[in-house]
Amino acid sequence: MHSSFVTFRRTALAAAILSLAGAAQAVPTFTAVASGDMTSDSAIIWTRALDGGTSASGLTLQIATDAAFTSIAKTVTGLATRDAASDYTLKVDVNGLAGGTNYYYRFSGSGAASDVGSFKTAYAANYAGAVKMAFSGDVDGQMRPYPLTNNFSASAPRDFFVFLGDTVYETSATGSPATALPVLGQTPNNLNTVLADYHRKYLENLQGVTAAGAATAAGQQGLKSLYANQGNYTVMDNHELGNRQYINGGSPLAALNLSGNGATSSQLGGSVHNTTGASLNSTDGFKTFVKAYNDYQPTRETIGVDGLQKMYFAQSWGKNMTYISVDDRTYRDVRLSKTTGGDDTPAGGTGSMRWADPTRTMLGATQLGWLQTTLLDQQASGQKWKIVSVSSPIDQNGNDGGKSWYGNYQFERNTLLKFIDDNHIDNVVFLSTDDHQSRVNELWYDLPGGGKKRLDSAFTIVTGPVGATGPNVVTNHSFSNLLNLTAASTTLLTNENNSMNGGQAGTQLGLKDFGARVFNVKRDQNGVLVAGSVADAVNFYSPDTFGYTNLDVDADGTLHVTMLGIDSFATNAYLQPEVTGAPRVIFSFDVLAAVPEPTHWAMLLVGLGLVGMRAKRRAA
Inter-residue contact 514 to 458 (CB < 8 Å): no
- Range 420-440 burial, b when 16+ CB lie within 10 A, else e: bbebbbbbbbbbbbbbbbbbb
> Is 244 in the same domain as 354?
yes
Domain end position, chosen among 71, 88, 120: 120
pTM (2 d.p.): 0.89
pLDDT recorded at residue 477: 80
pLDDT recorded at residue 426: 97
Please report whether residue 298 resides in a domain.
Answer: yes
Please report whether residue 12 resides in a domain.
Answer: no
> Is 85 in the same domain as 178?
no
SS (HEC) of 531-598: ECCCCCHHHHEECCEEEEEEEEECCCCCEEEEEEEEECCCCCCCCCHHHHCCCEEEEEEEECCCCCCH
> Is 80 in the same domain as 222?
no
- Beta-carbon neighbour count of residue 462 at 10 Å? 25
The CATH number of residue 598's host domain is: 3.60.21.70
SS3 491: helix
Find the radius of gyration of the CA atoms of the chain.
Answer: 25
Interatomic CA distance for residues 267 and 258, integer angstroms = 11
Interatomic CA distance for residues 532 and 308, integer angstroms = 47
SS3 325: strand
pLDDT recorded at residue 253: 55
The CATH number of residue 114's host domain is: 2.60.40.380
> Is 92 in the same domain as 235?
no
Q: Which domain holds residue 240?
A: 131-610
Please give the average pLDDT of every successive group of 10 residues along the chain, which has 620 residues: 38 40 68 98 98 94 97 98 97 98 97 96 96 97 94 82 97 93 71 96 92 65 94 96 82 45 41 67 89 98 91 97 96 81 74 83 95 98 97 80 87 96 97 93 89 93 94 83 70 34 52 94 95 93 92 97 94 92 96 74 44 38
Inter-residue contact 138 to 162 (CB < 8 Å): no
pLDDT recorded at residue 505: 39
Question: In the chain, how many domains are there?
Answer: 2
Q: Which long-range contacts (CB under 8 A, 24 or more apart) does 369-374 make?
A: 370/312, 371/312, 371/324, 371/326, 371/416, 372/416, 372/419, 373/611, 373/614, 374/314, 374/324, 374/614
> Is 509 in the same domain as 383?
yes
DSSP codes joined into one string, 399-447? --GGGSHHHH-HHHHHHHHHHHHHTT---EEEEE-SSSSEEEEEEEEE-
Helices (H), 361-409: 365-380, 405-408
> Is 357 in the same domain as 412?
yes
